[in-house]
Amino acid sequence: HLDRIADVDPAVHAFLHVSTESALSQARAVDEDIAAGNQPASALAGVPLALKDVVTMQGAPTTVGSKMLEGWQPPYDATITTKMLEAGIVILGKTNMDEFAMGSSTENSAYGVTHNPWDLGRIPGGSGGGSSAALAAFEAPLAIGTDTGGSIRQPGAVTGTVGVKPTYGGVSRYGLVAFSSSLDQAGPCARTVMDAAMLHEVIGGHDLLDATSINQPVPAVVQAVREGSLGDLRGLKVGVVKEFSGKGYDAGVMVSFNEAVEQLRALGAEIIEVSCPHFTYALSAYYLIAPSECSSNLARFDAMRYGIRIGDDGERSAEEVMSLTREIGFGPEVKRRIMIGTYALSSGYYDAYYGSAQKVRTLIKQDFEAAYEKVDVLVSPTTPTTAFPIGERTDNPMAMYLADLCTIPASLAGHPAMSVPSRLSATDGLPVGLQIMAPALQETRMYRVAAAYE
């Protein structure tokens, strides 16, 4: 995989940092362990993985795609990093991403764009475009992403790979650079549903270092994939969300989606159309809640504690150094969100904006509850279009935000959701993703359907 990275990454630019030395020494340790007659630490021991640069790992930089953290080396490992290393997984390096995970195309990275291996002129999705591109380009068989509003699932869809957002709290957030704490969730990315399930079981589970971590066993997703692989979905009810179709959806995406639904029906599932009327407001609510939490979380980048410090010449005041550093350290999308969030949280506007958005969040949860009284899982296209050309949406934040139309409701509810490749688009031949959603902690249902479909 290191050779493959050397060959193709100059064109793909999935990686921001390749940890050659530590990857080789981890791999050697696994080999020696096995040569000594020991059981491998896990079924994934020795398997290489690409780590999104929002997750800390000692001995490598963590930039979060931002100039603000250029050169910063974390003094500790994220819980999921520790778990993967203990399982013998070999971490190849850190992958490119939209700055602070804000974006849908990886074009907001301060370190250049990542190219979609299917067509180097197109975006690999975002914010975790580096992780998904690394999988699609065969630079790594496993990757880690984080998903706040779709950043695992949408890059998965447009690169033809599998991406899973676990239940909120199902995977520890300790050691992840925070964007929107009530939404951020790390999860597995892979080329097959089984690979994703195996990685899910390694990273999942309760963590005392994360106050929102759920104190429950990791769902038995590997077993669910085994069962699903038998291809029998009789007795299962699949809901098709009526609101996720129509204007704005590529014809090629809808053909692929409808065919996927027919395939689920052929596997024995009962298909039921459901209406979730408040999903229409999910995007608007998200773009108040996520920026509000971001404006608060990113206050810690004060030029004193982490990363770069600009203009500390003994003349300028601490406040001047702080504002100069933030002016230079943050890119335009991050600044836009800090501004929106600060405004939405200001006294006098709080109820009208943040408060209303939280009420919408509750209505969306209620839509899900009503739907899950009738069906076991919900399906939709993962994203309304296939990978768009690099540069097409950079001047139009609203068009960029629309990439997350279908992924945001499950994020707001804290529910698990995943994207699996469906048939390539009949109009442009590019990958399309099928999104499968399930109630909180019901990952096994979701994986079973994904495995049966795959």
Give the footprint of ligand GLN on this chain (CB under 6 A). 101-104, 127, 147-151, 179, 290, 404
Amino acid, single-letter form, for residue 54: V
Smallest separation, CB 418 to ligand GLN (Å): 14
- Pick the closer one to ligand GLN by CB: 101 or 171: 101
- Per the residue annotation, which of 19, 66, 132, 151 is the catalytic one? 151
The strand pair at 90-95 and 15-18 is best described as antiparallel
d(CA 382, CA 184): 18
Crossing angle (nearest 10°) for helices 193-203 and 221-229: 160
- Pick the closer one to ligand GLN by CB: 413 or 451: 413
Q: How many CA atoms does the CB half-sphere of 206 hold within 13 Å?
A: 5
Active site residue 127: yes
d(CA 152, CA 132): 8
- Fill in the DSSP letter of residue 160: T
- Pick the closer one to ligand GLN by CB: 228 or 433: 433
- Pick the closer one to ligand GLN by CB: 62 or 151: 151
Smallest separation, CB 270 to ligand GLN (Å): 32
Smallest separation, CB 147 to ligand GLN (Å): 5
Task: Pull the structure tokens for residue 7.
Answer: 């060959």
Task: Pull the structure tokens for residue 436.
Answer: 């499968």
- Pick the closer one to ligand GLN by CB: 26 or 180: 180
Smallest separation, CB 23 to ligand GLN (Å): 26
Task: Pull the structure tokens for residue 278.
Answer: 């408040």
If you write DSSP's letter for every residue of 60-101 in order, what string do you get? S---TT-GGGTT---SS--HHHHHHHHTT-EEEEEE--SGGG
Nearest to 232 by CA among 271, 260, 268, 264: 268
Smallest separation, CB 98 to ligand GLN (Å): 7
**From the centroid of its chain, how far is CA 48?**
19
Smallest separation, CB 225 to ligand GLN (Å): 24
3-state secondary structure at position 44:
coil
d(CA 237, CA 270): 5
Active site residue 52: yes
- Pick the closer one to ligand GLN by CB: 151 or 172: 151
Q: Computed from CA positions of residues 203, 208, 209, 211, in that sequence, does the dihedral angle turn out positive or negative?
A: positive
Residues identified as active-site: 52, 127, 151
